[in-house]
Amino acid sequence: MSSFNETQRSSLGSHDRKLRYRALLEDLSTLESENSFNEDLMDKTASAVREAQTLLAEGGVEERVKHPGEGYLDSKVLRVASDVAVRVTESISGNVNTYDKHELAFHIRENPNFWCFALPREVPSVAFLYGTFAPTPPELRPRAPRRAVQRQQAQTLKAPENVDKLGKVEEGSQMVSRVNRFITKTYKQTNAPLSYFHTVLDPTSFSATIENIYYVSFLVRDTLISINLDEEFGLPFITPIPASKEKRDIGDENQFIVSMDRQRWQELIEAFGITQPMMVLKR
């Protein structure tokens, strides 16, 4: 009794499944005749195949043995589905393959001027028929200063004169160091500051006096000597600065020069009673 019931139920289930298989088949065949888009086709086919699969799982192995018709219908659904898939694939590859880039490239190579045109909504550029106004005058302007620069360079190349002058300066600095040596020597001998005017004044020559003033001013500038006003007489006296003494102690005042003309020179010589030049240098 129970086995009869089971058989009846299974045959009922099988019948139901067969009906659903048939419905799937019907759907798929109408799909084929419809002219819908590829994507729709693929979606519908996929869902049909999925349903067939669930139907198969519902039955189980035993059921399939009992009702071979189900297996037949299942395979038929798969077959139709694969047919649809093939058709869809063909249409895709067919669509894309109509464009052959080599063909187009060849055509462009052969007819380059065919492929040179204005674009439909392209704004035609506003331009002058013969280009812009001739820009020649502005071009000339930068050229002129360039030439001037070249000339200047040529002038600076005349160097030899400077070399002569350099030699003269050399001579001068030699004299300065001679004066320095004289002052330090005399200072060591007497161990007292030297009177500035006695040192520089030369009663035999006004120009030698001027030169002495000049050399001494250099020594002051180089902080080799210092000149201080004597408190008792109010007259300038020279003191050499030892080399060891640090220069920053000396302070900022490193200039000393006196103005001198012939009249003043004469007056000073008489005032100091100088008859002989104190400093005799080889000229």
**Contact partners, residue 88, CB within 8 Å, separation at least 6:** 38, 41, 42, 45
**Binding test (CB under 8 A) with other proteins, winner from 11, 22, 106, 280:** 106
134 versus 140: smaller Cβ distance to other proteins? 134
HEC secondary structure over the chain: CHHHHHHHHHHHHHHHHHHHHHHHHHHHHHHHHCCCCHHHHHHHHHHHHHHHHHHHHHHHHHHHHHCHHHHHHHHHHHHHHHHHHHHHHHHHHHHHHCCCHHHHHHHHHHCHHHHCCCCCCCCCCCCCCCCCCCCHHHHHHHHHHHHHHHHHHHHHCCCHHHHHHHHHHHHHHHHHHHHHHHHHHHHHHHCCCEEHHHHHCCCCCHHHHHHHHHHHHHHHHCCCEEEEECCCCCCEEEEECCCCCCHHHCCCCCCCCCCCCHHHHHHHHHHHCCCCCCCCCCC
Binding mask 74-103 for other proteins (x = CB under 8 A): --------------------xxx-xx-xxx
95 versus 173: smaller Cβ distance to other proteins? 95
**Binding test (CB under 8 A) with other proteins, winner from 54, 68, 120, 190:** 120
> Smallest distance from the beta carbon of 35 to other proteins, in angstroms?
13
118 versus 163: smaller Cβ distance to other proteins? 118
**Binding test (CB under 8 A) with other proteins, winner from 61, 119, 134, 148:** 119
126 binds other proteins (CB under 8 A): yes
> Smallest distance from the beta carbon of 31 to other proteins, in angstroms?
20
19 versus 92: smaller Cβ distance to other proteins? 92
> Smallest distance from the beta carbon of 41 to other proteins, in angstroms?
16
114 binds other proteins (CB under 8 A): yes
118 binds other proteins (CB under 8 A): yes
> Smallest distance from the beta carbon of 38 to other proteins, in angstroms?
11
233 binds other proteins (CB under 8 A): no
**Contact partners, residue 210, CB within 8 Å, separation at least 6:** 260
Stretch that binds other proteins, among 56-64, 123-131, 135-143, 238-246 (CB under 8 A): 123-131
> Smallest distance from the beta carbon of 134 to other proteins, in angstroms?
17
**Contact partners, residue 281, CB within 8 Å, separation at least 6:** 175, 178, 179, 182
232 binds other proteins (CB under 8 A): no
Alpha carbons 96 and 135: distance in angstroms, whole number: 54
92 versus 257: smaller Cβ distance to other proteins? 92
> Smallest distance from the beta carbon of 21 to other proteins, in angstroms?
35
The size of the interface with other proteins (CB under 8 A), counted in residues, is: 30
Residues within the interface to other proteins (CB under 8 A): 94-96, 98-99, 101-109, 111-112, 114-127
